[in-house]
């Protein structure tokens, strides 16, 4: 009765899936670009001017970050077998173990409501990613 409602197997599979994602997302993104999601050269900032004055790149960076968060969420949802109320904890724990910059990616959760389309595209793209990488 105490402890998480999800299984250890679900957590292990989610962490493995997120590690695979962390290793391959850039290659897969270039080879299988999702529609209407900014490419790297569209959002990456190149100088101080971009950091302070380029609101277009800032907006595109947020959209791309929400897409990435959607991909992570989609992968974690696929493996999750617990109570819905525990999903956010499950995702955070899996992200902390499975990706290199979890806090930066999890921060984009706050933008997800602002860009629901990008989040939804990310969730859908995660299913395709899982199939391409032959993940369970």
Integer CA distances (angstroms), 84 to 5, 22, 112, in order: 9, 25, 18
Q: Tell me what pLDDT residue 24 has.
A: 96
Report d(CA 80, CA 69) in Å as an integer: 16
Q: Is the pLDDT of residue 1 over 80?
A: no
Its pTM surpasses 0.75: yes
Q: Tell me what pLDDT residue 106 has.
A: 76
Q: Tell me what pLDDT residue 123 has.
A: 97
């Amino acid at each position: 009765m105490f402890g998480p409602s999800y299984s250890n197997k679900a957590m292990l599979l989610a962490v493995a899936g997120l590690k695979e994602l962390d290793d391959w997302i850039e290659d897969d993104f270039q080879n299988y670009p999702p529609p209407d999601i900014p490419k790297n050269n569209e959002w990456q900032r190149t100088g101080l001017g971009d950091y302070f004055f380029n609101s277009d790149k800032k907006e595109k960076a947020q959209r791309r970050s929400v897409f990435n968060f959607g991909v992570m969420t989609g992968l974690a949802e696929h493996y999750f077998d617990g109570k819905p109320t525990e999903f956010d904890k499950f995702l955070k724990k899996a992200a902390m173990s499975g990706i290199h910059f979890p806090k930066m990616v999890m921060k984009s959760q706050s933008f997800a409501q602002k860009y629901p389309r990008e989040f939804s595209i990310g969730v859908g793209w995660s299913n395709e990613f899982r199939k391409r990488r032959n993940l369970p």
